[in-house]
Structure 1
Amino acid sequence: MDDWIKQLLEMLALPEYGLSTVFVVSFISATLLPLGSEPVVFGLVKLSPDLFWPAILVATVGNTLGGAVTWAMGLASHKVVDRYQHSKHHLRALDWLERIGPKACLLSWLPIVGDPLCAVAGWLKLPFWPCMVYMAIGKFGRYLTMTAALVGAFGG
């Protein structure tokens, strides 16, 4: 059983497949779907250490573009959220996001709350490009930290 996993990882680590796989998984994981992309980035870097920086950059771009889609979903879902606008927690969260502005998107790297945060930023109609810049900074930091830590922990 371990052989097929190793063969699959080796195939995905090929430059012509590995970076595109990292992009797709990073993109999808930035939407509201519960999927982690760090294991894919780590697997590619583990099998092809020379792809450390390209993998980090491709993952950052894919995850940021996925965040842009989530932002757009938030913008489009304005009517649905209107039903809950009088909730105490909803009002506090919206107030906090409106005070912080696009800088709140730095937290888009957080598990569980990061992706919905991007959706709420879109729903609040926070400026798209500043949100994208802050998302990219946060996501780059996450990929760099997580991949470097995993490489350090499991050898590179």
Structure 2
Amino acid sequence: MSDTLSLFSLFSSSFLSATLLPGSSEALLVTLLLAGKSTPWLLVTTASIGNSLGGLTNIIIGRLFPLRESSRWQASAARLLRRFGSAALLLSWAPLIGDLLCLLAGWLRLAWGPALFFLCLGKALRYGIVAALTLQGAAWWQ
């Protein structure tokens, strides 16, 4: 597989992983790191951008919903996000919970700047940690 195709596959997988659709971006990142398909910083950056754009898509979708609380879980989740604000989006990388946080951030109309900052930071930290652990583990086994 060429480097360009590898990067496109990683971008696509990481974008899908940030939505409710299935994706396995961490597994693909680890595979590409171990195969030496590209530089680690480029792989981490590609995965982070794709996953952040997927999270941004969820925020935009959340903004399409009317701003009214109709269930208990919406009310409690909204209280949590109102309490911690955009900083709660540091957890946007977490499976299922992260998708919900992004949807709620849009639904609550959180400010774009802080929301995008914490969203991107959380996603980049996740892929950076996965890459560091992968490369450290690979060096240990050699």
TM-score, length of structure 2 as denominator length: 0.88
Match of 1:125 among 109, 113, 116: 109
Please, what is the CA RMSD of the aligned residues? Answer: 1.7
Moved beyond 6 Å, runs of 4+:
none
1:77 partnered with 2:61: no
Q: How does 1:100-139 map to 2 (within 5 A)?
A: 100-139=84-123
Percent identical residues: 35
Q: How does 1:85-100 map to 2 (within 5 A)?
A: 85-100=69-84
Q: Is the 8 A contact 2:89 2:122 kept in 1?
A: yes
Q: AA paired with 1:119? A: L
CA deviation after TM superposition for structure 1 residue 150, in Å: 2.8
Structure 2 unaligned residues grouped into runs of 5+: none
Normalized per residue, the structure richer in helix is: 1
Q: Secondary structure at the match of 1:35?
A: coil
Q: Quick check: which has more Rg, 1 or 2?
A: 1
Tell me the distance in 2 between the aligned counterparts of 1:36 and 1:129: 28
CA deviation after TM superposition for structure 1 residue 23, in Å: 0.9
CA deviation after TM superposition for structure 1 residue 41, in Å: 1.0
Q: Secondary structure at the match of 2:92?
A: helix
Q: AA paired with 2:47? A: A
Partner of 1:31: 19
Partner of 2:46: 58
Tell me the distance in 2 between the aligned counterparts of 1:152 and 1:112: 28
CA deviation after TM superposition for structure 1 residue 49, in Å: 6.3
CA deviation after TM superposition for structure 1 residue 50, in Å: 4.8
